[in-house]
Amino acid sequence: MGYTVFYLSAIVIVPLSTLVFGAFRMDPQAFISTVTSPRVLASYRLSLSTALVAAIFNAVAGFLTAWTLVRYRFPGRKVLDALVDLPFALPTAVAGICFATLYSPVGWIGQILAKADIQLINAPSGIVVALIFIGFPFVVRTVQPVLSELEPEMEESAQSLGANRWQTFRKILLPHLFPALLTGVTLAFARAIGEYGSVIFIAGNLPFKTEIAPLMIMTKLDQFDYDGASAVAFVLLLISFTMLLVLNGIQRWQQKAYQ
């Protein structure tokens, strides 16, 4: 217990406390003025909206991938299973450079998209692509173990009683899988809010258009505005922490509902 508390304090509590103290070192009026400036608010809107779109996409794609890996056996399954963890292992800056190379107007995919008048570089849609990449494993890895524990006999029993596939999924599988799916989506969303490395290379970093909130933090640090950077970071921390609290509340409510 002592070692656990020590390491959590050194790695998590102390750095976050420093961030909070740095934000509140400002007087209230300066803090509010910093976090509500038009440019900062635009970066919040962009980060939250793109993270939400990416999380919704990952909810569907991640669930289907987890279902395929658990319920089917096919050549290359282990390779596909290993590739799911690639965004965890790959440095985000490397991923950003790869996206910028592929989706630029002269890139392999960018040339095809340009013919259809689709632009991902210097556009919010490109940010969504990068956030899908970094958030995808969270959904797969939270749903996959829960799905593995579900016995196929449950579905067979429901079907023998006359339930169709949709009814079996909605009544039997979804109640068991929903907490894990919600956890994965929330983690992917929270991770996407603070993503920096894989986004800046593809976003173009245009103020009021493709400038994300983490970039605002870096901009203020480059200007030696450490208190302002702490204030913006504190808002992002507060959003992520609130989401985790809501998630824990929903999970506890579901556990009580099924008891």
What number of residues does the chain have? 259
Closest CA to 130 of 138, 141, 121, 139: 121
Average pLDDT value over all residues in the chain: 84
* Region for residue 224 given its phi and psi (left: phi exceeds 0; alpha: psi -120 to 50; beta: otherwise): left
Tell me what pLDDT residue 29 has.
87
Tell me what pLDDT residue 92 has.
84
Is residue 164 scored above 80 in pLDDT?
no
Residue 213 lies in a domain: yes
Residue 66's domain comprises 29-258
What's 140's domain CATH number? 1.10.3720.10
Share of the chain above pLDDT 70, in %: 97
The rounded radius of gyration (Å) of the Cα atoms in the chain is 21
Q: What is the spatial distance between Cα 129 and Cα 42, in angstroms, rounded to a whole number?
A: 19
Is residue 36 scored above 60 in pLDDT?
yes
Tell me what pLDDT residue 159 has.
72
HEC profile of 50-65: HHHHHHHHHHHHHHHH
Tell me what pLDDT residue 256 has.
67
Residue 84 lies in a domain: yes
pLDDT digits (tens, 9 = 90+) for 211-245: 898 888 888 888 888 888 888 888 888 888 888 78
Closest CA to 191 of 62, 24, 71, 54: 54
Based on the structure, what is the number of domains in the chain? 1
Share of the chain above pLDDT 90, in %: 20
Q: Average pLDDT for residues 172-199, to the nearest whole number?
A: 86
Residue 64 lies in a domain: yes
Q: Average pLDDT for residues 189-208, to the nearest whole number?
A: 85
The tokens 């994965």 sit on which residue? 184
Residue 245 lies in a domain: yes
Residue 142 lies in a domain: yes
Residue 220 lies in a domain: yes
Is residue 160 scored above 80 in pLDDT?
no
Is residue 19 scored above 90 in pLDDT?
no
pLDDT digits (tens, 9 = 90+) for 107-143: 888 888 888 888 888 888 889 999 999 999 999 999 9
Is residue 258 scored above 60 in pLDDT?
no
Cβ(31)–Cβ(23) below 8 Å: yes
The pLDDT confidence band at residue 259, using thresholds 50, 70 and 90, is low
Tell me what pLDDT residue 23 has.
73
Cβ(128)–Cβ(199) below 8 Å: no
Residue 135 lies in a domain: yes
The pLDDT confidence band at residue 20, using thresholds 50, 70 and 90, is confident
Q: What is the spatial distance between Cα 38 and Cα 202, in angstroms, rounded to a whole number?
A: 23
Is residue 52 scored above 90 in pLDDT?
yes
Residue 16 lies in a domain: no
Is residue 65 scored above 70 in pLDDT?
yes
Q: Average pLDDT for residues 36-63, to the nearest whole number?
A: 93
Is residue 257 scored above 60 in pLDDT?
no
